[in-house]
Amino acid sequence: MKRMTSVKFPSAVSVERDAAGFSTSEVIAWGDSYPATVRDTTNRETVAAHQTGYDIDKIFVVRCYGGQNILKDDADECVYDVHRTYAASGTREIILECSRREPGCGYPGR
């Protein structure tokens, strides 16, 4: 199923730490919304991702992308990890293979 939506990418992350240096909470500030198309994965895409070592839930197609590793879908307010990106042939669109982020996961790279 293919639908139109908009996505947000993180603009800033602040992490609070306790006295021992462990992170206690983090706040992700989200930037502006960008139009996107989202669709479910095909069996072929799912198998290819699984063979590479990750699972994907959705495919987002955007025209503006700056290399961020997470995104938020404005339609359902879910946060997704971006696993693989590539340009669609013959267009200016960027394909983002994403999986739904597990609640409680820290910001990647922190």
Radius of gyration of the chain (CA): 15
pLDDT for position 106: 63
Strand partners, 59: 39, 97
pTM higher than 0.75: yes
Query: CA angle 72-75-80, nearest 5°?
Result: 25
Q: Please give the CATH architecture assigned to the domain spanning 2-100.
A: Beta Barrel (2.40)
* Tens of pLDDT, residues 15-66: 888 899 888 888 889 999 999 999 999 999 999 999 999 999 999 999 999 9
The residue extents of the domains of the chain are: 2-100
